[in-house]
């Protein structure tokens, strides 16, 4: 056990794991998996759950956990040593999984089990696991002619490498740009904490003045508050052209996009599908690209009039009050914030002072305790960064799971926010393994001896990721492949996360998680009322923006012909222009390079699936309506009985049954779009 990556007896040993441990540990685990597979396929005995699925699960889980730790460290500590260690083994790991997916003898073992008398006696969850395995073998090329398998395997390896490179280019391009300010007059309008953070960043580099990077905690305040239009324009352009041909050539993601699309198209054709969108939808709730496009277009028809009204109001305000005519894209965030302040008499910055990190966490945990009757307790474990936290979830004195919380932005951490599994719930021959999750965000850290403070948007993001975490941690399923988030259809996996966001708009929840960073005062009710009045401010514009991303993604993977090799970036941009002409109201400049930073679909799991956010938003808004109904007239929507039912029917069952069945078990009916439109203020009077 000298290699800490091979120690599965406890939590990950982040204090001991080093980049040099990666190659020997992962190679050993791959070798052990290969040896087990050889032994299982050679066994003449008929496959059963006990003699076949259980050993496959347990050996595979060890490799999955170890490689998961490596991937996590690559995301939160992307220094050259970790990047090198991750990329050195990525081809071998991709190759191994592609090889397993194409193993006809393994596939045949699952088919034998599917056709056996034992299958009929298995629990529905275990039957679903076998059904998923057969589906995934087919999608992994198991039924391809032997002559085609090497090429299919090569495609999987190339796609993994390109996705990793896309992500690294984006991080490097984000870190490569900084605006150095030495003239204090250029800081006019910026909040004090943003100025202090920029000064601290310059000091760390041993330079005078202020340093503004393209990391969100630095970039957003400039776009929202900086009076200097030239500074906003420079920052906007740098952000909008990241990882494109307009920057360093070696960081241009354009050629990678073309190659990724071509490889996905080739994979789809080899599997007998018309395009990659068809492949993507096999494991989702939606039946076809046509169904999804119909859903998106129906929403767009309802949202676009509201978006057009939002933009007309913004342009008129910018022209008459701010003398910004025409309104440029780099003015939108600034003018929107000024309009919000003028209309509702508050700013994001004012609200932010009431959300210090410790109080927000206390409030979040209070919601979870009330809804589900669990305790969340600070705990000790080795961590990768001193600012990360570690917590335990207990129910009736019994540990249910653990989670890490890494909230602050760092230059070595990839952008965005996410939840990932460190370990999944499993009951096997050696007893019960409790789940462990990573919850990662990119919020501003503490400045000047004060705790970090969060915007209300940050609080929404935290609740969102925590919803994913609860889906993983509160599972009651004993079988690894469908416990927690595993086996849940991708277009339903956002239901628990988006559901949690709704509580951030409830007074009894929000008031309890506020304490002014200087005075300790609670958020005033009058300010909360203004926030509620402003809740759907520009919701039309925000909705069509999400629909633009979703339609672009789906059409890119269902309409663009990638059969002739890498797709020219000009074709990708032309499609985006088509989509924008249909749904967008604010068209970015021609030099904007949005696809080059769209890591959800080029470096994440959302290819031909970005629509999942909107699809699941219908489910989450409808699910939250059950709490609105239960709490009507009670002064609080934190209804324990409804919370227990949501846990039992949605969170607890994970992927052990179809998501639609879980939703109907909770709501007693099919989902409806009405609650989403109402929550977004898009219901015509």
Which residues form the catalytic set?
465
- The one-character DSSP state at 523 is P
- Residue in the structure block whose two tokens are 């948007």: 457
CA distance 660 to 499: 16
Show Cβ contacts of residue 581 under 8 Å, excluding neighbours closer than 6 positions. Answer: none
Chain centroid to Cα 526, Å, comes to: 33
Query: Does the N-terminal peptide bond of residue 122 adopt cis geometry, omega within 30 degrees of 0?
Result: no
CA distance 232 to 322: 15
Put residue 163 in one of left, alpha, beta given phi > 0 → left and psi -120 to 50 → alpha: alpha
DSSP 362-430: HHHHHHHHHHH--EEEE-----SSTT-EEEEEEETTEEEEEEEEEEE--TTS-SS-EEEEEE--EEETT
CA distance 151 to 156: 9
CA distance 630 to 641: 9
CA distance 526 to 573: 45
Q: Which residues, in sequence order, are bridge partners of residue 356? A: 453
Q: What's the farthest any 2 CA atoms get from each other in the chain?
A: 82
Angle in degrees, CA 134, 137, 142, rounded to 5: 125
Identify whether the C-beta of residue 619 lies closer than 8 Å to the C-beta of residue 663.
yes
């Amino acid at each position: 056990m000298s290699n800490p990556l091979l120690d599965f007896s406890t939590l990950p040993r982040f204090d001991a794991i080093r980049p040099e441990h990666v190659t020997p540990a992962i190679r050993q685990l791959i070798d052990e998996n290969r040896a087990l597979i050889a032994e299982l396929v050679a066994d003449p005995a008929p496959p059963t759950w006990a003699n076949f699925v259980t050993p496959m699960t347990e050996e595979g889980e060890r490799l999955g956990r170890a490689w998961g730790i490596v991937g996590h460290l690559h995301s939160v500590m992307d220094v050259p040593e970790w990047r090198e260690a991750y990329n050195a083994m990525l081809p071998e790991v991709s190759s191994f999984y592609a090889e397993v997916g194409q193993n006809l003898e393994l596939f045949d073992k699952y088919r034998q089990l599917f056709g056996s008398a034992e299958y009929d006696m298995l629990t529905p969850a275990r039957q679903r696991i076998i059904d998923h395995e057969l589906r995934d073998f087919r999608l992994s090329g198991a039924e391809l002619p032997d002559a085609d398998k090497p090429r299919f395997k090569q495609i999987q390896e190339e796609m993994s490498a390109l996705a990793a490179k896309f992500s690294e280019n984006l991080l490097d391009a984000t870190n490569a740009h900084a605006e150095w300010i030495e003239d204090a007059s250029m800081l006019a309008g910026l909040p004090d904490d943003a100025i202090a953070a920029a000064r601290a960043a310059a000091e760390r580099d041993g330079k005078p003045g202020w340093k503004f990077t393209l990391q969100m905690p630095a970039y957003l305040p400039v776009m929202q508050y900086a009076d200097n239009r030239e500074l906003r324009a420079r920052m906007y352009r740098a952000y909008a052209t990241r990882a494109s041909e307009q920057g360093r050539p070696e960081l241009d993601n354009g050629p990678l996009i073309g190659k990724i699309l071509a490889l996905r198209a080739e994979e789809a054709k080899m599997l007998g599908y018309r395009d990659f969108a068809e492949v993507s939808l096999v494991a989702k709730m939606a039946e076809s690209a046509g169904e999804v496009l119909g859903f998106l277009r129906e929403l767009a028809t309802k949202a676009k009039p509201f978006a057009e009204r939002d933009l007309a109001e913004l342009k008129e305000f910018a022209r008459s009050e701010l003398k910004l005519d025409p309104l440029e894209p780099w003015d939108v965030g600034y003018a929107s914030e000024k309009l919000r302040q003028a209309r509702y008499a508050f700013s994001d910055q004012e609200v932010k002072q009431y959300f210090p990190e410790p109080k927000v966490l206390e409030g979040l945990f209070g919601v979870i305790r009330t809804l589900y009757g669990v305790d969340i307790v600070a705990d000790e474990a080795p961590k990768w960064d001193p600012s990360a936290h570690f917590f335990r979830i207990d129910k009736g004195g019994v540990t249910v799971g653990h989670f890490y919380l890494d909230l602050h932005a760092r230059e070595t951490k990839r952008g965005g926010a996410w939840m990932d599994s460190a370990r999944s719930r499993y009951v096997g021959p050696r007893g019960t393994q409790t789940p462990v999750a990573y919850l990662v965000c990119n919020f501003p850290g503490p400045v000047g001896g004060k705790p970090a403070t969060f915007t209300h948007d940050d609080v929404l993001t935290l609740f969102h990721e925590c919803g994913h975490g609860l889906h993983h941690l509160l599972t009651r399923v004993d079988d690894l492949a469908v416990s927690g988030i595993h086996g849940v259809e991708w277009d339903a996996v956002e239901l628990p996360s988006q559901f949690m966001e709704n509580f951030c708009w409830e007074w009894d929840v929000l008031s309890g998680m506020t304490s002014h960073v200087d005075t300790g005062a609670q958020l005033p009710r009058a300010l909360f009322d203004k926030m509620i009045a402003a809740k759907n401010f520009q919701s039309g514009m925000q909705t069509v923006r999400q629909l633009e991303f979703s339609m672009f993604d789906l059409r890119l993977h269902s309409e663009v012909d990638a059969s002739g090799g890498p797709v020219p970036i000009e074709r990708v941009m032309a499609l985006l222009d088509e989509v924008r002409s249909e749904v967008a109201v604010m068209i970015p400049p021609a030099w904007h390079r949005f696809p080059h930073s769209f890591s959800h679909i080029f470096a994440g799991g959302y290819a031909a699936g970005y629509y999942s956010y909107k699809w699941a938003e219908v489910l989450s808004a409808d699910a939250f309506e059950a709490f609105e109904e239960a709490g009507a007239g009670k002064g609080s929507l934190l209804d324990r009985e409804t919370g227990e039912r949501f846990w039992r029917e949605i969170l607890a069952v994970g992927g052990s049954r179809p998501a639609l069945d879980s939703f109907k078990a909770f709501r007693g009916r099919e989902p409806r779009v009405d609650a989403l439109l109402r929550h977004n203020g898009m219901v015509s009077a």
